[in-house]
Amino acid sequence: MSQARGALSSEALTHGVRVEVRARYSKEHSDPANSQWFFLYSIRISNEGDAPVQLLTRHWIITDATGHVEEVRGPGVVGAQPLLQPGEDFEYTSGCPLQTPSGSMEGSFQMIYPESDTEGFDAEVARFHLIEPGSLH
């Protein structure tokens, strides 16, 4: 289950893991004269299930306004592989550069159950938009 909660935010729930995103344009890190737009996004990952879960890897699909797609995969988020007990959450902020004034991001976090032989799963990060205020889109 996922839903866009407005252009610059999204929310998804996968196997008891809720991922909420809020994005914003970062004027201070952008240089439109040189086709460089920078966006910050804050993510809250909440364990609403009844077993501990741990985030191992991330997978992002980043699309700019021209339709150019870049995929990014890597371990953890902001240098961490958080272990979330039931009822806990983890929040972080990161950034994304684009060569256009708008685009979108979506993806997933690979989660495991560290105390169980149960197979892990991909927690969805629902699509959210990156938009420079006042840009045509």
- Looking at residue 124, what is its pLDDT? 98
Q: What is the pLDDT of residues 40-98, one digit of tens each?
A: 999 999 999 999 999 999 999 999 999 999 999 999 999 999 999 999 999 999 999 99
Q: Are 56 and 110 in contact (CB under 8 A)?
A: yes
User: What per-residue confidence (pLDDT) applies to 4?
Assistant: 45
Evaluated on CA atoms 4, 127, 123, 55, the torsion sign reads: negative
Q: Give the CATH number of domain 2-131.
A: 2.60.40.1470
What pLDDT digit, counting tens, does each position of 7-50 carry?
689 999 999 999 999 999 999 999 999 999 999 999 999 999 99
Domain extents in the chain: 2-131
**Amino acid in the structure at residue 94:** S
Residues 6 or more apart whose Cβ sits within 8 Å of residue 134:
none
Do the Cβ atoms of 110 and 55 come closer than 8 Å? yes
Structure tokens that stand for 18 in this block: 């809720």
Q: What is the pTM of this model?
A: 0.92
Q: Given the structure tokens 């306004």, which residue do they identify?
A: 65
**Residue 64, SS3?**
strand
- Beta carbons within 8 Å of 94's beta carbon, 6+ residues apart: 40, 41, 43, 77, 78
